Amino acid sequence: MVPSALRIRLYPSHEQEFRMLRALEECRRLWNEALSHRKDRWQNERKSTSYNLQQWILTAERHESPGLASLHSQVAQDVLHRIDNAFTAFFQRRAKYPKFKKFSESGSFTYSQAYNGSVKPDLHRRRLFLSRIGNVPCVFHRQLPMDSRMKTCTLVREPDGKWFASMVFEQVVPLQDVLPLNAELTTTPIGVDLGLLSIITTSEGEKVKHPHLLRNAEKKLKHVQRVFSRKEKKSNNWYKAKQRLASQHAHVRRQRMDFDHKLSTKLVRAHGLIAFEDLKVRNMVKSHSFAKSIHDAGWGQLVKLTERKALVYGSVVVKVPAAFSTQECFFCNSINPVEVSIREFACRSCGRVLDRDINAAKVVMKRGLAKVGLDRPEPKPAEIGPLRAQATGPASPVEETGTKRADHVRALEAHDNSRGRMSQPFRADL
Ligand SMILES: [Zn+2]
């Protein structure tokens, strides 16, 4: 089953927003009550608490408490689910012990079975019906997925006060023939090199410039931050400045999301196999002098979005080891020790002039194909065309060394065919 998601902006009226805020607050209280219930039972009776038990208590208590009764039953149940998940994560050592929640105007609540009629999108009248809230005006920027039903709908209030609805759809009719045959993958494979100067470089030679969203917004962010820190805490102006700061951060986040969405859609639409380097961003940020640029690049989100969309478009995303991808020559597999600052270099063995990033992207593509068990396809003339031209053209520094090189190149090309099998070790980590 392939899930797909749609996130839309909501424009609630004052009254609707009031109801939504009240739902947030009720969810927070329920969370705290459920948490202390679990805590107490463990401390006093050494008993663990199951979701089912809490669910049963909730049903009983809804008749007593008007606050709880004002919550939609699915929304209340979902809070118990969330706390159950939080404890599971804690026991599996993936997370810390769940915390009590303070009052906050930002947060989210979920209709867990939206197909039961609790949430009804109305594209024609541009509104979203939410049970216990009302018909909330909104903008559908695209059609709902075909032959799917809405599974969950989560309402999110961001720190800057904007409301969004995140809808997750599930296929009712299973999509057939989604995954193409292996043979089809080879027709449109692409390797992607993640970088700082160009945020991505593809094996087809396309470079997308780093948008530097954070760096561009930094001046303004700094200013807003400074204004905020000068205000007297909890004064009216402090709240206003806090809001402005939250707005600024949310703006950068949305810009990046937009950028990554467009890029990932472009990739999955055109390519059957997309290979990324498996970068350990967390390690890089720790050790690198340009940690901020790496954060700003947001490759993680790009890769994640691409993986998600690939499911829908029937493409395959693979991550390959990044080691030496910038130094290995795509054509002859030899390693060229080159410095990070060098953008273009001549391969030591075969003499081809390589653009560092494009070469790396091609190496990534080769490793990706090997990973899904496909041999590297013969490079098409179009692929090697520009590089050859550079290597043999009159303006090339490589050509100046004489005609001997041509023989040398030919010998290596023959050699290259036998070394094409060298990509096999990567199959080991399938
Ligand atoms: Zn080479």
> Edge to edge, what strands does the sheet with 273-277 contain?
207-209, 198-202, 189-194, 273-277, 316-320
At 227, which helix (H) or strand (E)?
Answer: helix 213-230
pLDDT of 102 reads 92
Q: What's the 348 CA to ligand 1 centre distance in angstroms?
A: 6
Co-location of 151 and 201 in the same domain: no
Co-location of 63 and 93 in the same domain: yes
Q: What's the 363 CA to ligand 1 centre distance in angstroms?
A: 12
Q: Domain count of the chain?
A: 2
Half-sphere exposure of 298 (CA within 13 A, CB side): 23
Q: Which phi and psi (to 5°) does residue 101 adopt?
A: -100, 140
Co-location of 204 and 129 in the same domain: no
Alpha carbons 308 and 274: distance in angstroms, whole number: 12
Q: What's the 383 CA to ligand 1 centre distance in angstroms?
A: 15
DSSP string spanning 72-97? -HHHHHHHHHHHHHHHHHHHTTSSPP
Query: CB-based contacts of 33: which residues, under 8 Å, 6+ apart?
Result: none
Q: What's the 349 CA to ligand 1 centre distance in angstroms?
A: 5
Alpha carbons 115 and 125: distance in angstroms, whole number: 19
Q: What's the 140 CA to ligand 1 centre distance in angstroms?
A: 51
Co-location of 36 and 66 in the same domain: yes
Alpha carbons 205 and 202: distance in angstroms, whole number: 5
For 354-364, the pLDDT digits (tens) are 898 999 999 99
Asked if residue 275 has pLDDT above 50, the reply is yes
Closest to 4 (Cα-Cα) out of 166, 141, 223: 166
**Helix pair angle (73-91, 51-61), 10° resolution:** 150
Query: CB-based contacts of 168: which residues, under 8 Å, 6+ apart?
Result: 3, 4, 5, 150, 151, 152, 153, 154
Stronger pLDDT, 187 or 186, i.e. the higher one:
187
For residue 74, is it within any domain? yes
Structure tokens at 218: 């930094």
Q: Which residues of 71-101 are buried (b: 16+ CB within 10 A; e: fewer)?
A: bbbbbbbbbbbbbbebbeeeeeeeeeebeee
Co-location of 74 and 30 in the same domain: yes
Q: What's the 331 CA to ligand 1 centre distance in angstroms?
A: 5
Q: What's the 290 CA to ligand 1 centre distance in angstroms?
A: 30
| Residues 332/347, Cβ–Cβ less than 8 Å | yes
Closest to 385 (Cα-Cα) out of 414, 407, 358, 422: 358
pLDDT of 396 reads 38
Q: What's the 18 CA to ligand 1 centre distance in angstroms?
A: 66
- What mean pLDDT comes out for the span 47-59? 91
Residue 405, domain extent: 190-211+244-429
pLDDT of 162 reads 93
Q: What's the 94 CA to ligand 1 centre distance in angstroms?
A: 45
Q: What's the 257 CA to ligand 1 centre distance in angstroms?
A: 38
For 211-231, the pLDDT digits (tens) are 888 888 888 899 999 999 999
For residue 179, is it within any domain? no
Asked if residue 397 has pLDDT above 50, the reply is no
Q: What's the 334 CA to ligand 1 centre distance in angstroms?
A: 6
Q: What's the 33 CA to ligand 1 centre distance in angstroms?
A: 65
Q: What's the 396 CA to ligand 1 centre distance in angstroms?
A: 16
For residue 217, is it within any domain? no
- What mean pLDDT comes out for the span 49-60? 91
Q: What's the 416 CA to ligand 1 centre distance in angstroms?
A: 9
At 273, which helix (H) or strand (E)?
Answer: strand 273-277
Q: What's the 278 CA to ligand 1 centre distance in angstroms?
A: 23
Q: What's the 279 CA to ligand 1 centre distance in angstroms?
A: 24
Q: What's the 177 CA to ligand 1 centre distance in angstroms?
A: 39
Structure tokens at 156: 């999110």
Co-location of 301 and 207 in the same domain: yes
Confidence band for 14, pLDDT divided at 50, 70 and 90: very high
Co-location of 153 and 280 in the same domain: no
How many C-beta neighbours within 10 Å does residue 364 have? Answer: 31
Asked if residue 90 has pLDDT above 50, the reply is yes
Q: Which phi and psi (to 5°) does residue 338 adopt?
A: -120, 150
Residue % of the chain over a pLDDT of 90? 42
The single-letter DSSP state of residue 328 is: B
Co-location of 165 and 195 in the same domain: no
pLDDT of 32 reads 95
Q: What's the 193 CA to ligand 1 centre distance in angstroms?
A: 18
Co-location of 203 and 132 in the same domain: no
For residue 89, is it within any domain? yes
Q: What's the 407 CA to ligand 1 centre distance in angstroms?
A: 14
For residue 224, is it within any domain? no
Among 171, 203, 223, give the residue marking a domain's end: 171
Co-location of 199 and 114 in the same domain: no
Entry pTM:
0.62
**What is the residue whose two structure tokens read 């350990």?**
280
For residue 238, is it within any domain? no
Judged by DSSP in three states, 48 sits in coil
Among 171, 198, 223, give the residue marking a domain's end: 171
pLDDT of 409 reads 44
Q: What's the 409 CA to ligand 1 centre distance in angstroms?
A: 9
Co-location of 317 and 364 in the same domain: yes
- What mean pLDDT comes out for the span 108-117? 90
For 302-330, the pLDDT digits (tens) are 998 998 888 777 788 889 888 888 888 88
Among 141, 171, 201, give the residue marking a domain's end: 171
Q: What's the 212 CA to ligand 1 centre distance in angstroms?
A: 33
pLDDT of 350 reads 84
Q: Which residues of 201-239 are buried (b: 16+ CB within 10 A; e: fewer)?
A: bbbbeebbebbebbeebeeebeebbeebeeeeeeeeeee
Distances from the Cα of 231 to the Cαs of 104, 228, 312, in angstroms? 20, 6, 49
**CB pairs under 8 A, 24+ apart, for 413-418?**
413/331, 413/350, 415/332, 416/331, 416/332, 416/333, 416/350
Co-location of 38 and 122 in the same domain: yes
Q: Which of 58-72, 338-352, 376-390 has the lowest mean pLDDT?
A: 376-390
- What mean pLDDT comes out for the span 322-350? 84
For residue 45, is it within any domain? yes
Alpha carbons 346 and 344: distance in angstroms, whole number: 7
Q: What's the 405 CA to ligand 1 centre distance in angstroms?
A: 13
Q: What's the 329 CA to ligand 1 centre distance in angstroms?
A: 5
For residue 82, is it within any domain? yes
| Residues 71/112, Cβ–Cβ less than 8 Å | no
